[in-house]
Amino acid sequence: MKKYDADKIVVRNWPELHEIVDNRWERIWEIVLSEQVMNDVVLSKVEETLSNDEISVHIEQNDKKLRVIVISERWGWDDDLIWYSYTIL
């Protein structure tokens, strides 16, 4: 029988998934940075790059804190949407 080492377990604190209007799903990531985002970074361009036909990404900044809102028409626990949300960070 194989033994498992509890120290090797990685806990992922995923934000809750919420159903919002029009049968869409939203997950909000709260991120605290070690430094403020540089002034030459245009967050609207980052949002545009990360969004696609199925997923809308909105980023709010307050000093060193970012709020990344991911909205999809598909249920947010589908494997590809989970990994998409995770990898954009």
- Length of the chain counted residue by residue: 89
Is 70 exposed, middle or buried (CB count within 10 Å of its CB: 0-12, 13-18, 19+)?
A: buried
Give pLDDT < 50 ranges for the chain. none
At residue 76, the pLDDT reads 66
At residue 79, the pLDDT reads 66
Beta carbons within 10 angstroms of residue 60's beta carbon: 11
Model-level pTM?
0.75
At residue 58, the pLDDT reads 94
At residue 67, the pLDDT reads 94
Distance CA 2, CA 60 (A): 46
